C-alpha cells in the first residue's frame, strides 16, 4: 500500500488535521488574492494605511500564536484552543462582508482574523505532538502532507471565487465565502479531532498512621506546580529569543516576505499597468498553487541530497527573477509566463522553511510550531515595510523588486549562519 495512504488510514489525528488545515487554506485562498484590491481600491485605504494594518495584524497574530502554543504545551491540550481560535474566522470574515468599511476591515484584520490565523501553526503543533512517536519516514510524510494541503486549497478556490464574482462591482462577496469555509474548518476540528485526554488530578495522602485517604491537592499545595509551569513558560519564551534561533528565523522571514509582498502587488499590477481584470488574479493564483503542489515533490526529493538552506537560497534567487519580471510586466500574458517561475520557486519557499523551523526546538511541539507564527509575523512585518517603502519610492514595481532583493539577502544570512556552524 502507498505509504501516504497507509499513514492517513492508520491515524485519525492526521486525517482530521489535514482536513482542517485544508479548509483553513480554503478560507484564506478565497480572500487573500483580492485583499489588497478590497482594502485599497474598494474601501479607500492608502498604500501606507494598508501596510500599517498588515503590520499590526502580524504583531497580533504572533503574540496570540506564541501564547496559545505555550498554553498547549503546558496543558497538553490542542483541541480546545483550536476550537477557540478557529471560531474567530467566522466573526472576522463575516464582519467585513456584513459591514464593509475601512474601519471594519482594519478591526477584523487586527483582531479576529489575526486570532483565526493562529489555527495554522496550532494545527502543525497538534500534528507535531502526535508524530513524535511515529517512525521518521512516517513523520516526514505527515509534515509534507500538511504542507501540501495548504497549497492544494489554493489550486481551485481563488479562480472559483473570481468566476463566482465575475461582473460584480465589488469583491466583498469573497469574505462571505471565506466565513462559510471558516465555519467548515471549525466543524472539522469540533467533530473530528479526538477529545483531549484529561490527566488524572494529582493526589496526596491525608492522615497519619492507620487508614489514609486520597484527596486532590488544592490551595498552597498547587503553588509550586504553578510556579514550575510559569517558569516553563518563561523558559520557552527565552528559547525563542535565543540569538541562534532568532537570527535564523530572521533569515527565513526575509525570504518568506516575498510571498506577502507578491500577494499585495500582483493584483494591483495586473489590474493596473498590465490592464487585466480582477477575475484573472484568481486564475493566476490557482495556476501557481497547482504548480506548487507538483514541485513540492521535487523539493522534497532535492533535500535528500541537498541541505535545506542552499535549497532555500535557490528558491529566493528564482523568486527575485519572478518579481523583477512582474515589475516590468506590461501585459497580462507576461504575468502568466512569469508565474511559471513563481510556482516552482514558491513551492520551496512554502514547504522548506516549515521543516527547518520545526526542527529548531524538537522537545516542545507547541513552541516549535509557534516559530511558524513568528516567521509569519516577521515575514508579514518585513513585507509591510517593503511594500510601504517600495510604493513610496517607485510604486508597485519598486516594491516588487525590493522584496525580491530582500529575499536574497535573507538567504545570504542563512548561508552565513549555517556556514559558521
Helices 243-270, 47-75: crossing angle, 10 deg rounding: 140
Classify 11 as helix, strand or coil.
Answer: coil
CATH number of the domain to which 369 belongs: 1.20.1250.20
Number of domains the chain is built from? 1
**Is residue 105 one of the residues assigned to a domain?**
yes
- Which residue range forms the structural domain that includes residue 256? 3-196+229-420
**Is residue 207 one of the residues assigned to a domain?**
no
- Please give the angle made by the CA atoms of 413, 414 and 416, to the nearest 5 degrees: 65
What is the predicted pLDDT for the residue at 221?
A: 44
- Distant-in-sequence, close-in-space partners of 137: CB < 8 Å, separation ≥ 6: 3
pLDDT digits (tens, 9 = 90+) for 211-246: 444 444 444 444 454 444 444 455 555 666 667 788
> Pick from 35, 65, 48: which is nearest to 375 by CA?
65
**Is residue 220 one of the residues assigned to a domain?**
no
**Is residue 201 one of the residues assigned to a domain?**
no
What is the predicted pLDDT for the residue at 230?
A: 45
The rounded Cα 133 to chain-centroid distance in angstroms is 25
**Is residue 213 one of the residues assigned to a domain?**
no
**Is residue 177 one of the residues assigned to a domain?**
yes
What parts of the chain have a pLDDT lower than 50? 198-223, 225-232
**Is residue 216 one of the residues assigned to a domain?**
no
pLDDT digits (tens, 9 = 90+) for 331-386: 999 999 999 999 999 988 987 887 777 667 655 655 666 677 778 778 888 999 99
**Is residue 221 one of the residues assigned to a domain?**
no
pTM score of the predicted model: 0.73
φ, ψ of residue 213 in degrees (nearest 5): -135, 150
Distances (CA, A) of 218 to 64, 200, 214, 225: 30, 14, 12, 11
Amino acid at each position: 500500500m502507498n505509504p501516504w495512504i497507509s499513514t492517513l488510514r492508520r491515524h485519525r489525528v492526521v486525517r482530521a488535521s489535514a482536513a482542517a488545515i485544508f479548509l483553513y487554506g480554503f478560507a484564506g485562498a478565497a480572500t487573500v488574492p483580492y485583499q489588497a484590491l478590497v482594502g485599497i481600491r474598494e474601501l479607500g485605504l492608502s498604500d501606507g494605511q494598508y501596510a500599517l494594518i498588515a503590520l499590526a495584524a502580524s504583531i497580533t497574530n504572533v503574540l496570540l500564536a506564541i501564547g496559545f502554543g505555550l498554553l498547549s504545551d503546558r496543558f497538553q491540550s490542542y483541541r480546545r484552543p483550536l476550537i477557540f481560535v478557529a471560531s474567530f474566522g467566522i466573526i472576522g470574515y463575516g464582519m467585513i462582508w456584513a459591514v464593509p468599511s475601512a474601519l471594519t476591515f482594519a478591526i477584523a484584520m487586527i483582531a479576529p482574523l489575526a486570532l483565526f490565523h493562529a489555527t495554522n501553526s496550532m494545527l502543525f503543533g497538534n500534528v507535531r505532538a502526535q508524530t513524535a512517536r511515529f517512525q521518521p519516514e512516517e513523520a516526514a510524510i505527515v509534515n509534507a502532507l500538511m504542507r501540501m494541503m495548504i497549497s492544494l486549497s489554493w489550486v481551485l478556490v481563488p479562480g472559483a471565487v473570481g468566476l463566482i464574482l465575475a461582473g460584480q462591482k465589488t469583491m466583498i462577496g469573497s469574505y462571505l465565502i471565506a466565513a462559510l469555509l471558516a465555519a467548515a474548518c471549525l466543524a472539522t476540528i469540533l467533530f473530528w479531532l479526538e477529545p483531549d485526554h484529561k490527566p488524572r488530578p494529582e493526589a496526596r495522602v491525608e492522615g497519619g498512621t492507620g487508614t489514609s485517604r486520597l484527596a486532590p491537592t488544592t490551595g498552597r499545595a498547587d503553588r509550586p506546580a504553578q510556579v514550575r509551569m510559569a517558569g516553563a513558560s518563561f523558559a520557552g519564551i527565552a528559547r525563542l529569543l535565543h540569538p541562534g534561533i532568532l537570527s535564523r528565523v530572521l533569515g527565513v522571514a526575509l525570504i518568506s516576505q516575498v510571498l506577502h509582498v507578491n500577494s499585495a502587488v500582483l493584483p494591483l499590477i495586473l489590474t493596473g499597468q498590465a490592464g487585466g481584470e480582477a477575475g484573472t488574479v484568481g486564475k493566476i493564483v490557482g495556476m501557481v498553487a497547482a504548480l506548487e503542489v507538483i514541485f513540492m515533490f521535487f523539493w522534497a526529493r532535492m533535500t535528500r541530497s541537498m541541505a535545506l538552506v542552499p535549497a532555500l537560497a535557490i528558491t529566493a534567487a528564482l523568486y527575485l527573477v519572478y518579481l523583477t519580471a512582474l515589475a516590468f510586466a506590461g501585459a497580462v500574458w507576461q504575468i502568466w509566463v512569469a508565474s511559471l517561475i513563481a510556482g516552482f520557486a514558491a513551492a520551496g519557499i512554502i514547504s522548506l522553511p516549515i521543516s527547518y523551523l520545526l526542527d529548531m526546538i524538537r522537545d516542545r511541539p507547541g513552541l516549535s510550531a509557534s516559530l511558524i507564527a513568528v516567521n509569519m509575523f516577521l515575514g508579514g512585518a518585513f513585507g509591510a515595510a517593503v511594500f510601504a517603502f517600495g510604493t513610496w519610492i517607485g510604486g508597485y514595481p519598486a516594491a516588487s523588486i525590493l522584496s525580491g532583493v530582500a529575499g536574497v539577502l535573507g538567504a545570504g544570512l542563512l548561508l552565513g549562519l549555517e556556514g559558521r556552524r
